[in-house]
Amino acid sequence: MASIKLSALISRLRDEGVTRVYINYDGSGDSGSISDIDFEPFRYGTDEYVKVNEMFSGELEDFGYHILNNHYDWDWYNNDGGYGNVSIDVEDSTVSVNGYVRTTAEAYESIDIEDLDY
């Protein structure tokens, strides 16, 4: 069961005509941040987007950090970090994380100089 705070947020988003929210994040080098927030069906930069963004951005940033730090099992900010988004389907009242974790792989090859045909 969703908390009263989260239920109220979903209800307010629905009242403003928002159908989906994407809370985009990016992290590496021992830090990470919410980079931006997208609202469907509003296009970035339109009057509707600006209005909704001003109303909800702080609250949604807090929610995004809460999900990433407490409900997401991948390290999204240390070392190579990761990126993705926390998606809120306002119509279905569901939340999902679409995340990608960056990794570094080491490769080593030893070739005997006698085997080279250079």
* The predicted structure's pLDDT at residue 1: 65
- What does the CA dihedral 51, 55, 56, 59 come to, rounded to 10 degrees? 160
Q: How confident is the model at residue 47 (pLDDT cuts 50, 70, 90)?
A: very high
Question: If you average pLDDT over residues 81-89, what whole number do you get?
Answer: 93
Q: How confident is the model at residue 7 (pLDDT cuts 50, 70, 90)?
A: very high
* The predicted structure's pLDDT at residue 11: 96
Q: How confident is the model at residue 42 (pLDDT cuts 50, 70, 90)?
A: very high
Which residues of the chain form beta strands (DSSP E)? 20-28, 31-40, 82-89, 94-101
* The predicted structure's pLDDT at residue 106: 86
